[in-house]
Amino acid sequence: MARWNFEADYFTACNCDWGCPCNFNARPTEGRCMGWGAWSILSGQFDGVPLDGLRFALYYSFPGLVEEGQGHACAYVDSRASAEQRQALEAIGTGQAGGGIFDLFGAQLVSQWLPTKVVPIEFEFAEGVGRVRIEGVAEAESELLSYPDGSVIQPWVELPHGIEYKRGLMTSARRWWWRDDELLANYANKYGAVARVKFSEQGCVG
């Protein structure tokens, strides 16, 4: 298996209510999972191929509980990447190169992968507030959670055994939509989370 690692800023959103029950081994809000994540790599390498500064995203759609599988998914790779870098990001994202959650979702629970797309990916975040845009496919906005009186809150979730992140800031995905073949969704004020993550072929290590 390839040796690889990266450290990245990460944003994820799904169709669940704030906090996402799946983080606590509970049923998803709608009984199904339509979720995605985007990684903006700060530093990393894949068998010696540098990944610094690159981005990739994954979208998953499961008709029921995630652990029941039968998911459909697609990987989106940064158009700025070289051919070698694209192959590396695709291998990581689709679970071909291990990586814990990448392998679990991509190689074991997804029954159909759509062809990987090479697209411009915008990723702009500061302290939980920001946006992701995958050209021609998806857009999302994240904002901090607040009480009805307008008081802003910043709840952090600690997941020492987390396979997606170990410590994440809960946010509101103020809006997000996805339009790619059969992967269609449009939501507002749903679960969002921002985290700094470290991964290797062994999985989420920080």
Q: How many domains does the chain have?
A: 1
Residue ranges, the chain, pLDDT below 70: none
Is the CB of residue 58 less than 8 Å from the CB of residue 91?
no
Q: What is the pLDDT of residues 107-147, one digit of tens each?
A: 899 999 999 999 999 999 999 999 999 999 999 999 999 99
What pLDDT score does 136 carry? 96
Is the CB of residue 140 less than 8 Å from the CB of residue 173?
yes
Side-chain-side CA neighbours of 35 within 13 Å: the count stands at 30
Q: What is the pLDDT of residues 75-93, one digit of tens each?
A: 999 999 999 999 999 999 9
Residue-number span of the structural domain to which 64 is assigned: 4-204
